[in-house]
Amino acid sequence: MAERGGERPPIPEALPFPVVDAHTHLDACGAKDAADVTAMVDRAASAGVTRVVTVADDLAAAQWAAQAATWDPRVFAAVAVHPTRTAAFTDADRAVVEELAHQPRVVAVGETGLDYYWDYSPPEAQQEAFRWHIDLAKRVGKPLMIHDRDAHEDIFRILAEEGSPEKVIFHCFSGDAAFASRCVARGYVLSFAGTVTFRNAHALRDALAVIPSYQLLVETDAPFLTPHPFRGRPNEPYCAAYTLAALAQFRGVPTETLAAEVTATAERVFDLPSVTAR
């Protein structure tokens, strides 16, 4: 949290229907133990964000996320090794991720994929690890949560070559309307973070318009990507409420309607129990 500038944004008025933060990093937000996790999800719940999926980017984070999901019933986990961490992805590492992926409160394999923006892992290593995570998701029967940065075509190619899992999520979707349409046609689910609210995010908002609500999720990717007008300040799961309200405005639908629709999508994709309005 200290790495982000300024204070946390104010907690907004609660959404009229509870939503799921489909991708956050509670540990990177500053949570260390069960008390921290409970306090963080309490803040989220006060804004109508009643469940969160905390996501790993390395082995230590994967082990922490799986444990954190046992500390509070509102928390679920996704486990994988981030593509920028795959330069040395050993068999022992894979065994740890696979064991965690079988745990009942781990609801997705992720985040995995390709990142050609940062020069931390060779593309070949990233692609090999991505293929392994695809296979793992299929073997454990859980969604594949994809990190895609400057790698649209290779992501699509590898998914086609390996065969997509039944459920595929593009976390923090970063494509345009044409790419979104291609994803929708393949049945992929697209998750939008605070980036869609940024002033220069015209292509993202165009993409949003072509996505059916049953293929749409909302996320924070906290502590990063805090929605406008709080960009650059520390993000937390409760800020998904700001993004959800913005998504509804961009789509021209009532906030309550979109909240109910994306919650139904999250429940289906992550196999979560259904909730009803407050």
The full length of the chain comes to 278
Both tokens of 1, joined, read: 């949290």
Closest Cα to residue 8, out of 39, 54, 50, 53?
Answer: 39
State the average pLDDT over residues 172-184. 98
**Bridge partners for 190 per DSSP:** 170, 216
Distance between CA atoms of 116 and 272, rounded to whole angstroms?
Answer: 33
Both tokens of 132, joined, read: 């392994």
Query: Residue 1 pLDDT more than 80?
Result: no
Both tokens of 85, joined, read: 């961490």
Three-state secondary structure string covering 219-266: CCCCCCCCCCCCCCCCCCHHHHHHHHHHHHHHHCCCHHHHHHHHHHHH
Binding-site residues: 23, 25, 111, 147, 171, 221
Average pLDDT over the chain, rounded to an integer: 96
Q: What angle do CA 161, 162, 163 make, to 5 degrees?
A: 95
Q: Give yes or no for a contact between 222 and 239, defined as CB atoms under 8 angstroms apart.
A: yes
State the average pLDDT over residues 64-73. 98
Model confidence band, residue 19 (pLDDT cutoffs 50, 70, 90): very high
DSSP structural state of residue 76: E
Q: What digits encode the pLDDT tens for the residues 189-219?
A: 999 999 999 999 999 999 999 999 999 999 9
Q: What digits encode the pLDDT tens for the residues 135-165?
A: 999 999 999 999 999 999 999 999 999 999 9
Q: What digits encode the pLDDT tens for the residues 29-67?
A: 999 999 999 999 999 999 999 999 999 999 999 999 999
In our burial notation (b when 16+ CB lie closer than 10 A, e otherwise), range 227-254 reads beebeebbbbbbbbbbbbbbbbebbeee
Binding-site residues for a divalent metal cation: 23, 25, 111, 147, 171, 221
Residue in the block written with tokens 């996704």:
78
Distance between CA atoms of 144 and 190, rounded to whole angstroms?
Answer: 12
Whole-structure pTM value: 0.96
Q: What local confidence, expressed as pLDDT, does residue 3 receive?
A: 45
**Bridge partners for 113 per DSSP:** 147
Count of Cβ atoms closer than 10 Å to residue 105 Cβ: 15
Q: What angle do CA 218, 154, 142 make, to 5 degrees?
A: 45
Q: What is the DSSP string of 153-213?
A: HHHHHHHHHH---S-EEETT----HHHHHHHHHTT-EEEE-GGGGSTT-HHHHHHHTTS-G
State the Cα torsion 225-275-180-137 to the nearest 10°.
90
Q: Which domains does the chain have, with CATH numbers?
A: 19-270 (3.20.20.140)
Distance between CA atoms of 113 and 128, rounded to whole angstroms?
Answer: 10
